[in-house]
Amino acid sequence: MTAADWQPRNESWLAKQADGLVAVVKADCPTCILIAPVLQELHAHGLATVVTQDDPAFPESSVDGFAVVLDSDLEISLELDIDTVPTLLKIEAGAIVDTTVGWSRDNWQRFTGAANLGVALPDFRPGCGSLTNDPAFVEQRAIAERIPLLRSRALAIGDEEDEMEALFDRGFTDGLPVVPPTPARVARMLGGTTRDPQEIVAIVPPDLVDCTVEKVAVNAVMAGCKPEYLPIVLAAVEAACTEDFNAHGLLCTTYFSGPLVIVNGPITRSIGMNSGVNALGQGNRANASIGRALQLVIRNVGGGRPGEIDRAALGNPGKYTFCFAEREHDSPWEPLHVSRAGMRANQNAVTLFAAAGVQPIVDQLSREPESLARSFAAGMRTVGHPKQVFAWDCALVITPEHARVFHDAGWSKQRLHDELMALLQIPGAELVRGANGMAEGLPESFATATLPKFRNGGLLIVHAGGEAGMFSALISGWASGAVGSEIVTQEVGT
Amino acid sequence: MSEVLLDPTGERSATTRARALRPASLKGLRVGLLDITKARGNVFLDRIETLLGDQGCTIERFSKPTFTKPAPIDLRHEIAAKCDVVIEALAD
C-alpha cells in the first residue's frame, strides 16, 4: 500500500463478526506456521475466522474449515489492535472480550476450552511482530493520515506538463530545479516535527505572511530536505523573521548579503551535516538543503524575489544556500551557541548571520598566536572596505590547523576575540576621506579618534573545516546591529 | 489523472485600494519629507524643502530610525495625520 492509495475505512469489521474466535496470523512468522494445524483443530471449538496479514493462501483452510480473510491494508489488524502474531481473540456481541498472543498450549487450551491442542508441538513459542509494527507501514500509514490535514492549495499539473518545468513556470524556484511538493512528500516531511501543521511559525517578510509549519514543509520538500532536517529549517525561519535579524532589510538591500545558518548541537551529527572538509562548500545534502529551504520560504511565502524587492547589486552565490555546522567534536573552544547565547552544548541551535561572502585568510607560517591573530586582523580589516569601521559584522571561521596554534598556547575563544578587537582599533587618520588616496572614508572630524573596526558583539568565531590547510575564512556581514541585522541564535525544537 | 502539487506560496490575495487623489497644486498643502536615513538623503531633502517652501508649502520633516527596516507604524500614522502629501527620499 502506498500513502496515495490509502482511504480511511469507516465501517467496523469487528462489529459484523459473529460470536466466536478469531485468529490473526502472517505467513512470514515461524510460530504462525507452527500452529497452523492447531487452527484446524480449533474450528470445532468456535474458530470462525483467520485473518492473514500477508498471504491469502496461508493458512491452508481445510474443507468446511474457517474463513481466511486477507488483511492486505492491515485495517482489520489495526482495528483489533494487533501487536503480535499469532493472536487469538474471543469475540462476543461485536466486541473483543479476551485475547492471547503467541503460542502457549496451556493458555490456548484454557482460552478455547479445547483439550490436547497441538500435542506434537512444543509447549511454548513466542509470536512475531504484527505487520502493523513494520516501520515502513507505520510511516506510510502516518503519511496517509496526515494528507487529509494538509491545507495548502492544490495545484493541478496537466498530463502534458512536465512537473519540473511547471514549477519553474509558476515562479517557485530559485533557478535550480526543485523537488515537486506532492501531498505525500509534504506529509512525510511533516513527520519530522512534533508541531501542528497549522501552527504559525513566523510572519515572513516582505509580504508579512503568516507562515505555517505546513508551508515550511512544502518549501523544505522543494529544497530537497529530509524530514529530520525540518526542525532546523523551522528554527532558521523563526530566527530569520525576528525583528532583530531583519530578513526584510536583508532581502531588500542593494548589498551582497543573504542569510547564513550556522548549526550547533548533537543534531548536526545525527542528521549528518558537514562541519569538516569543504564545510562551506557543496556536496552535503543537509547543509545544502537547509539553507536553500530558508531562502525558498522567503521567496515563496514571503514574496521576496530577486529583481523585485530583492535589489542586490550583485548578490552572492550563498543566496542559493549557505548553511554549515560547527566542528564541535575536536574544537578547542566551547561551541558558538554556548558562547553566544549561554545555551548548553547538548542543545541544538541555529545562529543566523547576514553573510555577504567568504574571503580566505592564508597564513602558513605563524606558529605563535600573536602572529596568527595579526594575520586574521589584517584580513578582517578589509570587510566592506579597509577604511570603513563600525559598519559591518564579521564571522571568522577557523580551521583545525589554525585553531591548534591558539589551543597550544592556551588561548580561549574570548582571549582570541579580545586580542582581535584590540588589533582592530584603527587610528582615525587612516580612515578619513582622502587618506591613502581614497575618497571613501569617514569625515575629517574623526581624524584624531581611534575607532574599532567592529562593534561589540559583531565578531563571531566558529570552528570548522578539514584537518589539512592553514587557511581560515572571514565571512563578511551586513549593516550591523540595530541599523541592519543583529546576529540571532535560536534553539532548534522538535 | 493529473498530478497534484501543493502551493508553496503564502496564497495571499492582494487587497486593491483606491489611490488618494492627486492634488492639483501643492500650494498651501502640508508636505511631509521622509528621510530614510541613507547617506546624503538629507542633502536631497534640504533642497526639496527650499523649493517647496518657495511654492507656499508647509514642510514637516521626518526620518526613519534605519533605512533597512520599514517605517514604524507610529511614524506612518504621524505622517498621515500631519500631512496632505509625503515625499520619501532614497539615496545611495
How close A247 comes to chain B (CA, Å)? Answer: 9
Indicate yes or no: CB of A155 within 8 angstroms of CB of B6.
yes
The predicted pLDDT at position A359 comes to 96
Would you say residue B74 lies in a domain?
A: yes
Query: Rounded to a whole number, what is the distance in angstroms from the first to the last CA of chain B?
Result: 54
- Could you give all domains of chain A from N- to C-terminal order, each with its CATH number? 3-136 (3.40.30.10), 163-491 (no CATH)
Q: If you measure CA to CA, which chain A residue comes closest to B91?
A: A254
Contact A281, A308 (CB under 8 A): no
How many CA atoms within 13 Å lie on the side-chain side of B35? 19
Nearest one of A338, A339, A348, A409 to A373, comparing CA atoms: A409
Contact A359, A402 (CB under 8 A): no
The predicted pLDDT at position A45 comes to 82
Indicate yes or no: CB of B4 within 8 angstroms of CB of A156.
yes
How close B70 comes to chain A (CA, Å)? Answer: 8
Q: Give the nearest partner residue to A186 out of B2, B6, B12, using CB atoms.
A: B6
Residues 6+ apart with CB under 8 A from A311: A252, A253, A254
Set of chain A residues whose Cβ sits within 8 Å of the Cβ of B3: 156-157, 163, 180, 182
Would you say residue B24 lies in a domain?
A: no
Indicate yes or no: CB of B92 within 8 angstroms of CB of A254.
yes
The complex scores an ipTM of 0.83
The predicted pLDDT at position A466 comes to 97
Q: State the Cα–Cα distance between residues A467 and A317, nearest whole angstrom.
A: 25
Q: Give the nearest partner residue to A155 out of B5, B67, B70, using CB atoms.
A: B5
The reported pTM is 0.86
Set of chain B residues whose Cβ sits within 8 Å of the Cβ of A157: 2-5
Indicate yes or no: CB of B6 within 8 angstroms of CB of A254.
no
Would you say residue B21 lies in a domain?
A: no
Residues 6+ apart with CB under 8 A from A152: A186, A214, A215, A218, B6, B7, B8, B11
Number of domains comprising chain B? 1
Indicate yes or no: CB of A249 within 8 angstroms of CB of B7.
no
How close B72 comes to chain A (CA, Å)? Answer: 12
Give a three-class secondary structure readout of B34-86: EECCCCCHHHHHHHHHHHHHHCCCEEEEEECCCCCCCCCHHHHHHHHHHCCEE
The predicted pLDDT at position B90 comes to 73
Dihedrals φ, ψ of A400, to 5°?
-55, -40
Set of chain B residues whose Cβ sits within 8 Å of the Cβ of A153: 6-7, 11
C-beta atoms surrounding B15 within 10 Å: 5
How close A297 comes to chain B (CA, Å)? Answer: 8
The predicted pLDDT at position A9 comes to 62
Q: Give the nearest partner residue to A154 out of B6, B69, B70, using CB atoms.
A: B6
**pLDDT tens figures, B33-75:** 999 988 888 889 999 999 999 988 999 999 999 988 889 999 9
Q: State the Cα–Cα distance between residues B57 and B50, nearest whole angstrom.
A: 10
Q: Any idea which residue has 541585522 for its cell?
A: A485
Would you say residue B45 lies in a domain?
A: yes
Q: Give the nearest partner residue to A482 out of B3, B9, B66, using CB atoms.
A: B66
**pLDDT tens figures, A216-263:** 999 999 999 999 999 999 999 999 999 999 999 999 999 999 999 999
Residue B20 binned pLDDT confidence (cut-offs 50, 70, 90) = confident
Mutate which: A153, A163, A242, A294, vs B, most B CBs within 10 A: A153
Residue B62 domain boundaries: 30-89
**pLDDT tens figures, A325-369:** 999 999 999 999 999 999 999 999 999 999 999 999 999 999 999
Set of chain A residues whose Cβ sits within 8 Å of the Cβ of B9: 172, 300-301, 303
Q: State the Cα–Cα distance between residues A228 and A234, nearest whole angstrom.
A: 11
Residue B2 binned pLDDT confidence (cut-offs 50, 70, 90) = low
Between B1 and A70, where is the model more confident? A70
Q: If you measure CA to CA, which chain B residue comes closest to A215?
A: B8
> What residues of chain A score a pLDDT lower than 50?
1
Would you say residue B8 lies in a domain?
A: no
Indicate yes or no: CB of B8 within 8 angstroms of CB of A215.
yes
How close A159 comes to chain B (CA, Å)? Answer: 5
